[in-house]
């Protein structure tokens, strides 16, 4: 369903260019999916001298899906998603064992001109998260808050807006209880080659600290995309992602501090295979 989307979606397109797939890990991801709706995947990752991994299974049925993940730290994560329990709704229940206090249930309502999401922690002192948006796919306003029942305080409250045109996306979000603001602007330069440029500024009012990040993305050919970003603190990063075959990707990324050239650059490699 088209509509303003959820508050968490504000600025997502800019975030994808500035943050998605950048990594200094070495990672191998293998996944497969059957015609019955069962998908199985495994991830192995190494960062520095530490290794980790997980095995996940997801089964999709007519109006929902269940996801179970086992990791090398003996955690079991489960997520159940059911759509249309009532019209235009999505219900999400999640829990992570052995942390029995991690349970949460969330109900989302998505309408053509509004959305509402409510989540409640399943523990003795739950937090209640509420977010709402109103508008259209082009212009939307939203807010979110988290209330901790045990303390009677708000853990967070944020507000923002998003403006979309065929060639640009602008969003502004006031967050960290009003102490910080994030403004981003994305401009589509070439729809054929998916060229885009992004600028984002984050200001922390209490410390007068500003972080300006600029980035770009460009499809060299139908199977290869390159991205780069630089912020005012001298952090420069770039990546190249190549589609080896449909849904199988090789991503190579690197980053270094331009203000501390004596530091060793960081490199990451991710191989995602889907037979």
What string of pLDDT tens digits covers the 275 residues of the chain? 456 777 888 888 899 999 999 998 999 999 998 888 899 999 999 987 789 999 999 999 989 999 999 999 999 999 999 999 989 999 999 999 888 888 999 999 998 899 999 999 998 889 999 999 999 989 999 999 999 988 889 999 999 999 999 999 999 999 999 999 999 999 999 877 889 999 999 999 999 999 999 999 999 999 999 999 999 999 999 999 999 999 899 999 999 999 988 889 999 999 999 97
Q: Which two tokens stand for residue 250?
A: 């090789």
Is the sign of the CA dihedral 45, 47, 51, 53 positive or negative?
negative
Torsions phi, psi for 31 (to 5 deg): -145, 155
Cβ burial of 73 (10 Å; 0-12, 13-18, 19+) is: exposed
The DSSP H or E segment spanning 163 is strand 153-164
The model's pTM is 0.85
Residues whose CB falls within 8 Å of the CB of residue 207, separated by 6 or more in sequence, listed in order: none
Bridge partner list, 50: 47
Q: Which two tokens stand for residue 10?
A: 């504000």
- Burial of 189-198, coded b for 16+ CB within 10 Å and e otherwise, reads eeeeeeebeb
| pLDDT at site 210 | 96
| pLDDT at site 2 | 59
Bridge partner list, 147: 128, 154
Of 45, 43, 65, 44, nearest to 56 by C-alpha is 43
Inter-residue contact 178 to 204 (CB < 8 Å): no
Cα Rg of the chain, angstroms: 21
| pLDDT at site 147 | 94
| pLDDT at site 4 | 72
Under DSSP, the state recorded for 19 is: T
| pLDDT at site 255 | 95
Q: Which two tokens stand for residue 34?
A: 């059957």
| pLDDT at site 3 | 65
Total residues belonging to the chain = 275
**Distance, CA of 242 to CA of 252 (rounded, Å):** 9
Q: Which two tokens stand for residue 256?
A: 């270094």
Q: How open is the CA angle 233-236-241, to the nearest 5 degrees?
A: 150
Inter-residue contact 129 to 144 (CB < 8 Å): yes
Tell me if the bond preceding 240 is cis, omega within 30° of 0: no
Bridge partner list, 134: 114, 141
Question: Checking DSSP bridges between strand 153-164 and strand 104-110, what pairing results, if any?
Answer: unpaired
**Distance, CA of 122 to CA of 125 (rounded, Å):** 8
CA distances from 232 to 148, 197, 262, 264 (A): 36, 16, 18, 19
């Amino acid at each position: 369903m088209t509509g303003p989307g959820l508050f968490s979606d504000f600025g997502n397109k800019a975030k994808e260019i500035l943050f998605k797939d950048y990594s200094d890990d070495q990672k191998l991801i293998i996944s497969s999916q059957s015609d019955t709706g069962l998908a199985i995947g495994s991830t192995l990752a190494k960062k520095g001298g530490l290794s980790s991994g997980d095995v996940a299974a997801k089964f999709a049925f007519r109006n929902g899906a269940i996801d179970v993940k086992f990791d090398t730290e003996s955690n079991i994560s489960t997520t159940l998603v059911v759509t249309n329990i009532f019209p235009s709704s999505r219900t999400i229940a999640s829990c992570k064992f052995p942390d029995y206090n991690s349970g949460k249930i969330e109900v989302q309502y998505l309408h053509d001109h509004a959305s509402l999401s409510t989540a409640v922690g399943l523990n003795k002192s739950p937090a209640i998260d509420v977010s709402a948006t109103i508008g259209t796919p082009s212009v939307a306003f939203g807010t979110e808050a988290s209330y901790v029942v045990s303390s009677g305080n708000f853990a967070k409250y944020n507000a923002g807006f998003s403006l979309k045109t065929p060639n640009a996306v602008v969003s502004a979000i006031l967050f960290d209880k009003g102490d910080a603001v994030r403004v981003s602007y994305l401009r589509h330069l070439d729809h054929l080659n998916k060229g885009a440029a992004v600028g984002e500024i984050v200001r922390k009012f209490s410390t007068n600290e500003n972080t300006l990040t600029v980035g770009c993305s460009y499809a060299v050919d139908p199977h290869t995309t390159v991205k780069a970003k630089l912020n005012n603190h001298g952090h420069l990063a770039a990546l190249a992602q190549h589609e080896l075959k449909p849904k199988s990707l090789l991503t190579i990324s690197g980053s270094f501090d331009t203000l501390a050239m004596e530091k060793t650059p960081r490199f990451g490699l991710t191989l995602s295979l889907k037979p």
